[in-house]
Amino acid sequence: MLTDQELVERAFTMLEFSYVPYSHFPVGAALECAGGEIFTGCNVENAAYGSTICAERTAIVKAVSEGHRDDWRRLAVVGNSRDYCWPCGACRQMLYEFGGPGLKLLVARGDHDFVTLTLGDLLPHGFGPSDLE
């Protein structure tokens, strides 16, 4: 199993793959599942801005498409910014769908410093599958 710092560094390796000709703001993500599987992602922009996908959602879709829907442990999200690279609202909702409020988040800034919190801390009143029962 990777340390928190190693998972953050794995996310940083994804910055070079980001396709960001419009924002020039690369983001990387690394999602760890209970069995140690790591799914990485980067943001991919599009001239039709609504078609852009965030790094977190790239990693989420890769994990779900490989059958990992309820065994997520940690997600690292990184950027080259001075502030921490917080997941956007759409990503928070997708994370809540599969990871739930207990998902551990490692949110980093460009100097590789990171903070650790749960998704429930970041999205305290999330809407998930159990709300539809």
- Which residues are designated catalytic? 56
Cβ neighbour number for residue 71 with a 10 Å cutoff: 14
Cα angle at 62 between 39 and 68, to 5 degrees?
A: 80
How many angstroms separate the CA atoms of 82 and 90, rounded?
22
How many Cα atoms within 13 Å fall on the side-chain side of residue 50?
A: 0
Q: What are phi and psi of 112, to 5 degrees?
A: 75, 5
Q: Are 105 and 74 in contact (CB under 8 A)?
A: yes
